[in-house]
Chains A and B, each alone.
Chain A
């Protein structure tokens, strides 16, 4: 077991860190306030290879392993968790799904553009009445010769407005639960496909989250990914990888909270001493740092298992539940260490607290992660 980064991993980290500080940090508070999508920055990230990191070069990607991806994703999220989720969704959900389940024609047509950053992708599973219980979805696709007609409403779609194509899960057969779910890729601009307004969110405000509407939307049967009825399996398989991504997002936020706390505690003076000399602050910093390291180790273990082609469902769930808990705790403690200043927008740490919360909710809530861990251990379905 080797805990040190390779030369390449160090260079990936340096590149991601420098990019984030140069191009994401300067207006991050402004984008958060205005809920502005970091379009220009995402384009640059695509050119550098950040949007399809784990995809082979042949399909437009950078062909890096999952640990290398996590190293870069942590750096982006430590500066801007909105850009971080856009990157995570495109990499771990969209590109990974197409790479694993799409046929070569679909890869040629879509994966190349999505992995190279020419296009941005979205992943659409949730509906207003079906979140954790995906098999309760109402959106349908009806076969019509060599086409499908999609009808329904999806929600909470990250990058739903800015994306060029979306992978959408709908029922192709009703009454058989999740076995009737199928996955399609639908291009922006397809007649009958539209999006709702940008949701006004607590955190990750730079990412554009919206509803998607499908009204008699006709897509070619060539856009069906895998077989009819395989959608649920595809979604769950992809979400395992997605959890590594969101766990890493949480890690980035948690680390930022730690870094900012250390910096501030060493500067801020009260009673004639820096507050870092007080036991109460030291105790917080020590716990924050330990949990950041534990999160990273859990994440990298899951990533390594994934790279080795071994099962990693339980490990990814553990990483996500722990890292997201750490993000929330560290961000809250960071604001506490900053005191009144932490509560003010201009210090940029209240944003960490708002951004952290979503990591306990999306791509499987913490409660669902606990369920996955327990079921794997207890052997029940």
Chain B
């Protein structure tokens, strides 16, 4: 039963689809020309107060989640659903039809055609044909019709559903995106080394989001190429639940840390003017300090004073530092060292291992998106559907066998719903082979 109300007709028409797609394509240009998600003042300053007010009404500063843009995506969705409901039943019939039941005249109308004569008897010919077709991948079904015998074989009737798979995949992607929006979040956090946090800050503003566990940054390192371009940002992260370590991982860009559905991505960093010092003496005793530039620190048990008295920087990265070090034995040591290095300090009584690493904060993007797998599923369905829709075809062959005088006549008919030239060649080859063996 076909529903033919005018609303239904409107939403099942391909014209609407063409219009909606064109509308989305053209309006999408706006958001690539007008910077998105800037503060209001930006639009006022750039475009003037009137235009800015107009933008505000139409949500232009965040147009891809504006009411009208989402509205048109909604229309596209409705269009897809209704169009598919409208058409799929007839495609289903084509996929499942009993093609032996067609009127003979219809079968004879098919484009591809070949006629073969055989000297063998009717039953023998039929059996031969069935076997030979089967050997070539065309498994047949048969049914007598009057004094004739009808054989039929088909390949990939299901390929007709490829287009519907593509359309379905779009709905799946939308569903995944929507589900992710509703149940997930996107946020970020700037986490200084040796500090931890149980919350992150959402991009869209508002209350911090509670993670339900604790994340700590143990260490952050940047590596550079000889030409000073950054080569790698690496953060050593620890996850703690109730103060117990449950997971530790070094993350770099493109290799995030996942825990309980929440993913932490390396995204930026910030360099501070304080340092993490480690000192070890020959007895194997060592200790860790944090302290500021130009501030004297003390390792009380060992009666050692030290500090950084000068430094050289490249932007906010400290490259070299000048150390002052005194253990009370002889005059204090003063020397330059690379900030990332570990050095030995030779003193009259003792040699120390010393390092002073600039303290960084690692910038993490934090995302929870349970919908992403649905989106990926949709993408896979789309690619599979496109492949089926474009490259696979429903191919059908009928063979009508009957007696005429003393010869057996074999009429072959064939058709494909797509890629017809390729199938014509295949059909010709097949009928040629059959003719040779009859």
Tell me if chain B binds chain A: no
- Which residues of B pack against A, CB within 8 Å? none
